[in-house]
Amino acid sequence: SVQATCFAGAGVEDRRALGRFIDCLLTDAGATDSSISILREIRRRQSLLNQAELAHLAEFGVNLGDKLQADQLETRTVAVTYEHYSLSAVLDRLLPPNTQLSSFSVVGHIAHFNLKEEVLPYGQLIGQVVISKLPNIRTVVNKRSQINNEYRNFELELLAGEPNYVTLHKEYGLEFELDFSKVYWNSRLSTEHHRVVEKLRPGDLVFDLCAGVGPFAVPALKLGATVFANDLNPTAHSYLEANLRRNLRKSQLISQPELVKAFNMDAREFVAGVLAPRYAEAVASGFEQQVVAIANLPGMAVDLLDCFVGCVKE
């Protein structure tokens, strides 16, 4: 079977290419009567949608031409305004030629840019356009510094909208509340969050060393794993606890409180004081499920590997 769609706004070359493709199919020796009928209908609709091709209606029969004339088809002019242009189309017209504007990520109602230096003078303009084009966005920010502190947050510049950085972000059916100005969150890691959690099984023992607001811990607990989650940032720890409660049934937390515990401590201290003794208990009891340690600390997680030395004994 053959299926095609023709748009009135398609370019002339696109329409011609489609026409040549249909002609080739019509002359194919293996074409069936049914497919030929479909292709001819596509060819007819292609012509009807384009003013330039109305002159060729004779090939479809006199009756069709008479009907079109009787119905008095007319040409109308449609005013194209700002509302008709996409976000990218507006920015392409407003910014200088060859401007390299990086993509942005969305965290709840916040649009987050990492603007290059040459684009910074147009930051507020970009922010206003984003808010006007994306109804769900109320705050547009630019990252002004790299992550260079122990709490993994960075300085933000408000480009447009509300100076409100507390938001509710949804990821794979789960909700995460966070203050984007005080905690670490990267929406572009959503696929990685999902990939890691998919490797877990109900009953696994999971230790999340740098849990943040819970992008690994919350779905792992929802899956049925036993989770010990930790973050050094006290603000992240508060949101972590709130997000664990938000995404789990109250009855589950009451009946099985041993399934989850959140900590606010240094990752190394967490490994020595929480992970090591509980891992030893699991081994001694003949625990047969996976024991998983997650260190979501981009660029620095490898520095934590030495703290596992001595934790695992033969």
pLDDT tens string 60-89: 554 555 655 555 667 788 888 888 889 999
Asked if residue 91 has pLDDT above 80, the reply is: yes
Asked if residue 29 has pLDDT above 60, the reply is: no
- Can you read off the two tokens belonging to residue 120? 């910074």
pLDDT computed for residue 254 by the predictor: 47
Asked if residue 32 has pLDDT above 70, the reply is: no
Helix axes 33-48, 12-26, angle to 10 degrees: 160
Q: What is the pTM of this model?
A: 0.72
Buried b / exposed e along 262-296 (16+ C-beta atoms within 10 A): bbbbebeebbbebbbebbeeeeeeeeeeebbbbbb
Residues ≥6 apart with Cβ < 8 Å to 35: 1, 2, 25
**Percentage of residues of the chain with pLDDT beyond 90:** 50
Asked if residue 129 has pLDDT above 80, the reply is: yes
Tell me the pLDDT band of 177, cut-offs 50, 70 and 90: very high
What is the spatial distance between Cα 235 and Cα 14, in angstroms, rounded to a whole number?
A: 55
- For 201-212, how does the pLDDT look when each residue is reduced to its tens digit (9 = 90+)? 999 999 999 999
Asked if residue 251 has pLDDT above 60, the reply is: no
pLDDT computed for residue 35 by the predictor: 54
Candidate from 4-8, 165-169, 177-181 with smallest mean pLDDT: 4-8
Tell me the pLDDT band of 12, cut-offs 50, 70 and 90: very low
* φ/ψ (deg, to 5) at 291: -115, 120
Asked if residue 55 has pLDDT above 80, the reply is: no
pLDDT computed for residue 149 by the predictor: 62
Domains of the chain, start order: 12-70 (no CATH), 85-164 (3.30.300.110), 190-308 (3.40.50.150)
Asked if residue 127 has pLDDT above 50, the reply is: yes
